[in-house]
Structure 1
Amino acid sequence: MKHLLLILFLSLIVSKLQAQDNYEIQVYGSETVDSGRTMLELHSNYTINGSKTVFDGQLPTNHVEHETIEITHGWNPWFETGFYFFNSIGSDGRTSYVGSHIRPRVAAPLSWNWPVGVSLSTEFGYQKSAFSANTCTLEIRPIVDKKVNKVYIAINPTLDQSFAGPDSHRGMIFSPNVKGSYDVTKVVALGLEYYGSTGPFFHYDPFQQQQQQLFVATDLNTDPNWEFNGGIGYGFTSSTDRCILKIIIGRRF
């Protein structure tokens, strides 16, 4: 009980940045990659309806495709490191390598027998200013999840900190992500994924300046070595891309 209260307390402290910039649209589960194994993932996201003009030096997102390569290696049962390579494909100079991040993550070992899965991810890296106004960022992502029979819930009360760009003096931005899914069959799970970015903690931006997205998503569990997640998402504010299609395909080696 003391361990659970500690995690909840830390989550509230951390729950004080922007969403995932449409390169890795994913609500994280607490499980890390097994020791000695490597996960290779491809995140493919296509903006069906996004921004159409250059704003503050950032290229528009409408009809652009984002391809992110993620390589994650498990070092032991509770520690992994992930590497991201962000890429953009689009017309009018929008095809480019965008940037890279590194993401170490620690998890509460299963031997602790906590009632929920818990891990903590930190992600740091660089991206070109034409694709992200904040070019150097840190993400702190606590992860809590739980599976009860056919129902799965994951909560990521994420914090983002910019070190270079317009948000560098705003402090940490609260970007909560939440997922809920239901196992329709042993192979197919259907659910909803929420992605938000509300502004600095306790000093939230006006609603239309926030990022608010909801995805209808599907997970396929055909093989323990493979991962598939796909969905379509809708933005509910003027600061959010209106419609995005996403697919994640992963393979463990």
Structure 2
Amino acid sequence: MSATVFGACMWVCTAMHAQGNYEIQVYGSETVAPKSLMVELHSNFTPDGQKYVIDSVYPTNHQEHETLELTEGITDWSEVGFYVFTSEQNGHGVQWVGDHIRPRVRVPPSWHWPIGVSVSTEVGYQRAVYSPDTWTWEIRPIIDKQIGRWYLAFNPALERIWHGPDVNQGVGFSPAAKAGYDFTKVINAGFEYYADYCSITSPCPVHQQQQQLFAVTDLNVSPKWEINVGVGVGPTSATDHWIVKGILGRRFDWGRNKSDVQ
């Protein structure tokens, strides 16, 4: 068996477990303020990824993903987010990939917990040419803490596939974590980790798991803006080898503007 065929066969065994690189982000516990809208653009490019069309699924190599995320604050402890995923690749042009909706609640600030805690649930669809598992459901607990100049966050996400070849896998486990340090009031730099261990009750062998480690920088230029950039490496055969990502977000407070006019 040639190396090319072997690599393709290995990817078939693992691709169903790898999460799409459309919105690469470790969530913090805070929700968007009520009567405010957060608009984010997630831009991710894969310089070195999977290079073959397998079971009608497009390769990830040299794919550019642009994801529009709109998050509306409902109360001081709840929000609703909506995603539009797109992909651009030589030979396929710009394509709509799918949509997700994500309501989230958090422990209210008035409770004065020593750590930040929130929970999101995300339901969505992706076209089969980009993900063989087309309908998915995720529950993502979110825990974070600011300790001096250090910021730490952990997202032990649980996933359930509703339609696709992995529907019998059961509950999947896809944790994410972040550690960042405030070098200045503006610059926070550190690392983000993302993984997909397949089933939570029967994890895949390590070479079939998705593992990604990103070196990232966050620029805190203003409370209204979110800026995050990073470069990630995937050391396992189930993971794209190199990914470059960026997040640009802007908060719009339409409720306050209205009251100011009155």
Q: What TM-score do you get using the length of structure 2 for normalisation?
A: 0.89
Asked whether the 8 Å contact 1:117–1:145 carries over to 2, the reply is yes
Mapped pair 1:81 → 2:76? no
Structure 2 alignment gaps of length 5 or more: 1-15, 253-262
Equivalent-residue separation in structure 1 for 2:194 and 2:56 (angstroms): 24
Mapped pair 1:233 → 2:232? yes
Change (3 A) 1:18 1:186: farther
Which residue does 2:124 correspond to in 1?
125
| Shift of residue 93, structure 1, vs aligned partner | 1.8
| Shift of residue 100, structure 1, vs aligned partner | 0.3
Tell me, what secondary structure is at the counterpart of 1:189? strand
Q: Can you list the C-alpha shifts for 1:190-230, whole angstroms capped at 9, x where unaligned?
A: 01000000111131101111100000000000010000000
| Shift of residue 57, structure 1, vs aligned partner | 2.0
Asked whether the 8 Å contact 2:190–2:216 carries over to 1, the reply is yes
Asked whether the 8 Å contact 2:18–2:239 carries over to 1, the reply is no
Tell me, what secondary structure is at the counterpart of 2:245? strand
Which residue does 2:141 correspond to in 1?
142
| Shift of residue 20, structure 1, vs aligned partner | 4.2
Give the residue type in structure 2 aligned to 1:70: E
Give the residue type in structure 2 aligned to 1:69: L
Equivalent-residue separation in structure 2 for 1:44 and 1:19 (angstroms): 18
Structure 1 alignment gaps of length 5 or more: 1-16
| Shift of residue 18, structure 1, vs aligned partner | 4.7
Equivalent-residue separation in structure 1 for 2:148 and 2:188 (angstroms): 12
Which residue does 1:68 correspond to in 2?
67
Tell me, what secondary structure is at the counterpart of 1:169? helix
Q: Can you list the C-alpha shifts for 1:72-104, whole angstroms capped at 9, x where unaligned?
A: 000110010000000000112253000000000
Q: Can you list the C-alpha shifts for 1:1-46, whole angstroms capped at 9, x where unaligned?
A: xxxxxxxxxxxxxxxx956410000000000000110000000000
Asked whether the 8 Å contact 2:18–2:238 carries over to 1, the reply is no
Equivalent-residue separation in structure 2 for 1:214 and 1:198 (angstroms): 15
Count of paired positions: 237
| Shift of residue 55, structure 1, vs aligned partner | 1.7
Give the residue type in structure 1 aligned to 2:30: E
Equivalent-residue separation in structure 2 for 1:18 and 1:76 (angstroms): 35
Equivalent-residue separation in structure 1 for 2:54 and 2:19 (angstroms): 18
Give the residue type in structure 1 aligned to 2:241: R
Equivalent-residue separation in structure 2 for 1:34 and 1:229 (angstroms): 20
Equivalent-residue separation in structure 2 for 1:121 and 1:169 (angstroms): 23
Asked whether the 8 Å contact 2:220–2:226 carries over to 1, the reply is yes
Equivalent-residue separation in structure 1 for 2:144 and 2:132 (angstroms): 32
Which residue does 1:110 correspond to in 2?
109
Equivalent-residue separation in structure 1 for 2:101 and 2:38 (angstroms): 14
Give the residue type in structure 2 aligned to 1:109: P
Q: What TM-score do you get using the length of structure 1 for normalisation?
A: 0.92
Q: What pairs with 1:48-59 in structure 2 (closer than 5 Å)?
A: 48-59=47-58
| Shift of residue 56, structure 1, vs aligned partner | 2.3
Mapped pair 1:97 → 2:96? yes
Which residue does 1:154 correspond to in 2?
153
Which residue does 1:251 correspond to in 2?
250
Identical positions, percent: 54
Q: What is the aligned-residue RMSD (CA, Å)?
A: 1.1
Tell me, what secondary structure is at the counterpart of 2:207? helix
Equivalent-residue separation in structure 2 for 1:19 and 1:76 (angstroms): 34
